[in-house]
């Protein structure tokens, strides 16, 4: 079984993800990423390779980050320990300080008992599959074991947060103009840095979900639990609510009436704004196949092309890098602005969203109305043979559904990559139609592909 998943190595801390695995993984990473051209140049100049290390505040991050630091230092890598910071901050700092690579200890939106290890290559970019495979191979191979002056040093990265905050502020096309923002930090990595940055950018800020105790990360708060944020925005009469997840690489929003504004709507707002100021490369937005049909319609109306990818921010990033596009993301709130970040950045996204409100003088609801959200129904059909999703009768049922919907809807069938299930997604002009067609297709899939 592969060690790396779609976003690093993840699992139950002290279950599959032990301190020993973290240390060994760090040593293997030093073998693969600490031996490149830049690292050799550093050695020739009498300096050791260097890595940036950060974590979210979950309790297991303390011992796992310590194990990672030990593994790197024992392999001759200097470690700049940035402490608790968002994942996109770690990626930025790798590039900003010209480090050889970086490591983030976080399980993102997962509950507190889980944790994960994400690795960034030089420049703060995610690892391609072949490099992950090389690191997995190196786990069982010889490790670097320098002695004396050759071992690495572990130092506190004292100005890590300041560097990141200044970077975010410099990215803004407009200050936030005193708008009242409620921030939900998910008791996670953004709990300290996000409120500070929004205030420095000119917003009036109220904060919830910013009291991490190591065990409460994502617990009833953050981008996967928006009810508390919506209620607080309405109660206070605030202009907008911004929700991060545990490692703050996501951003979702709620408007002044407490209505959710998802990643598709946020991308629509930013794409239109960027096109107006000539910052949307090739007038193209990159989104996954799960993005709402309403996004496609809205972008077409404004002369913006939507380039579709498979589900997963890594595929969005690959397409953006290949085409040198400037904006992409997912409905879940992973939004990538490549002029300022190499990965999804929830703080960056939220700041630019509020900046557009300040620039235009329009409410979030008005800005979000640029896109009509089509009702979307997703049914997971379990205990079926996902390898036979191309069955002729299933294909015929999909074709019949598509014919019925015409240009007023969309059908998508996706086999899970890890479980015996097929996902049936239907969009239509009204919820009843979407639910009826999704149920019909799910029945066909269940009948034809039953194990």
Structure tokens, 208: 């919830």
245 annotated as belonging to a binding site for a ligand: yes
- Does 184 count as an annotated binding residue? no
Whether the Cβ atoms of residue 138 and residue 146 lie closer than 8 Å to each other:
no
138 phi, psi to nearest 5 deg: -70, -15
Nearest residue to 59 (alpha-carbon basis) of 246, 245, 215: 215
Give, to the nearest 10 degrees, the angle between helix 19-33 and helix 60-73: 40
Please, which residues have CB within 8 angstroms of residue 292's CB and are 6 or more apart in sequence?
Answer: 264, 331, 371, 373, 374, 376, 427
Tell me the CA distances in angstroms from 87 to 25, 52, 90, 195, 211, one per residue in order: 18, 11, 5, 16, 18
- In terms of DSSP bridges, do strands 252-254 and 240-243 run parallel, antiparallel, or are they unpaired? antiparallel
Q: Is position 108 annotated as part of the catalytic site?
A: yes
Any known ligand binding at 332?
A: no
Residue 162 is assigned to a ligand binding site: no
String of DSSP letters for 405-427 = HGGG-EEEEEE-SSSSEEEEEEE
**Whole-number Å distance between alpha carbons of 429 and 376:** 9
**Residue the block writes with tokens 């930090």:** 185
- Rounded alpha-carbon distances, angstroms, from residue 444 to 379, 395, 421: 12, 10, 13
Token pair listed for 401: 């559904």
CA distance 23 to 65: 9
119 DSSP assignment: E
Which is nearest to 237 in space by CA: 186, 198, 181, 194? 181
SS3 state at 444: helix
Q: Tell me which of 60, 108, 223, 291 is the catalytic residue.
A: 108
Residue list, annotated binding site for Mg(2+): 108, 245, 247, 249
Report, as residue numbers or ranges, the catalytic residues.
108
Residue list, annotated binding site: 108, 245, 247, 249
């Amino acid at each position: 079984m592969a060690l790396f998943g779609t976003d690093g190595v993840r699992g139950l801390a002290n279950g599959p993800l032990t301190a020993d695995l973290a240390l060994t993984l760090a040593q293997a990473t030093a073998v693969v990423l600490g031996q490149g051209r830049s690292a050799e140049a550093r050695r020739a100049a009498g300096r050791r390779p260097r890595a940036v290390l950060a974590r979210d505040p979950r309790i297991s991050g303390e011992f796992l980050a310590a194990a990672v630091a030990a593994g790197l230092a024992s392999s001759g890598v200097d470690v700049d320990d940035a402490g608790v910071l968002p994942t996109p901050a770690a990626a930025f700092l790798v590039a900003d300080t010209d480090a050889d690579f970086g490591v983030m200890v976080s399980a993102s939106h997962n509950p507190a008992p889980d944790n994960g290890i994400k690795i960034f290559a030089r420049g703060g970019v995610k690892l391609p599959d072949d490099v992950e495979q090389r690191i997995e191979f190196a786990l069982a191979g010889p490790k670097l074991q320098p002695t004396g002056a050759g071992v690495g040093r572990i130092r506190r990265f004292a100005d890590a947060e300041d560097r990141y905050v200044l970077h975010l502020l410099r990215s803004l096309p407009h200050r936030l103009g005193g708008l009242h923002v409620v921030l939900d930090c998910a008791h996670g990595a953004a709990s300290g840095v996000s409120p500070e940055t929004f205030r420095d950018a000119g917003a009036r800020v109220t904060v919830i979900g910013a009291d991490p105790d190591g065990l409460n990360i994502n617990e009833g708060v953050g981008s996967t639990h928006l009810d508390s944020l919506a209620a607080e925005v309405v109660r206070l009469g605030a202009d907008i609510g911004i929700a991060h997840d545990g490692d703050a690489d996501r951003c979702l929003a709620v408007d002044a009436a407490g209505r959710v504004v998802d990643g598709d709507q946020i991308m629509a707002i930013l794409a239109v704004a960027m096109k107006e100021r000539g910052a949307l490369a090739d007038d193209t937005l990159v989104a996954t196949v799960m993005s709402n049909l309403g996004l496609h319609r809205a972008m077409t109306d404004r002369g913006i092309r939507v380039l579709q990818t498979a589900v997963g921010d890594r595929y969005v990033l690959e397409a953006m890098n290949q085409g040198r596009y400037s904006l992409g993301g997912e409905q879940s709130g992973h939004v990538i602005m490549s002029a300022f970040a190499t990965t999804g950045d929830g703080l960056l996204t939220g700041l630019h969203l509020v900046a557009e409100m300040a620039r235009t003088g329009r409410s979030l609801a008005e800005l979000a109305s640029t896109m009509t959200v089509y009702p979307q129904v997703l049914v997971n059909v379990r205990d079926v043979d996902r390898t036979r999703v191309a069955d002729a009768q299933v294909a015929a049922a999909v074709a019949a559904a598509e014919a019925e919907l015409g240009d007023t809807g969309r059908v998508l069938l996706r086999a899970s990559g890890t479980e015996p299930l097929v996902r049936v997604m239907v969009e239509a002009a009204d919820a009843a139609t979407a639910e009826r067609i999704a149920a019909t297709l799910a029945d066909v899939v269940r009948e034809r592909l039953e194990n």
